[in-house]
Amino acid sequence: MVNFLKNISNVWKFFWVICGIYLGVSIFHPVFIQESFEQFIFLLHQISLSFVFVIIFMYTFNVLISDKLIKKYLHGNVGWKQYLLVALVGVLSTGPIYLWFAYLSRMKEQGLNEGLISLFLYNRAIKLPFIPLMIEYFSVKITVVIVVLVFLFSFLNALLIRCFFKKPLS
């Protein structure tokens, strides 16, 4: 029995523990399980269209934009196009932040300045998959104001960081 449990991944162990908890609760309090399931279906129905939109958008972005295309526009003189591109890539970036640190370090070695790095990191605060949820819990008005302010202040932050790290002319 012990060898059998060692071969099962932790994900499946967790799944079966949760199923056991639900089974136990459903035996002693079936109304609670029914209400939680109805609430889950209601919430899923409310946000399903938004999730479909986000998945299609992220898939399209991953297909159309490659690393080579991004690197092509990031080298050379820093202009408003580079700032806008880095801001958009920051918004669209996914995954854990610690994986991005190594990539940003390599990009810095290749000439990406500190202002653009801070712009990218600041715009990671805008999470596209959470925008439908923000709209659901708050409102469209509050969500738009927050996203626009974060986006605009990221440029101010990038310019300030660039000024702090500007190398003196020799």
Helices (H), the chain: 2-7, 10-28, 30-64, 67-74, 80-92, 97-109, 114-123, 131-137, 140-164
Token representation of residue 149: 């302010």
The residue extents of the domains of the chain are: 9-50, 65-170
pLDDT band at 75 (very low <50, low <70, confident <90, very high): low
**49 touches 124 (CB < 8 A):** no
pTM (2 d.p.) = 0.57
* CA–CA distance, 140 with 135 (Å, rounded to integer): 5
pLDDT band at 90 (very low <50, low <70, confident <90, very high): confident
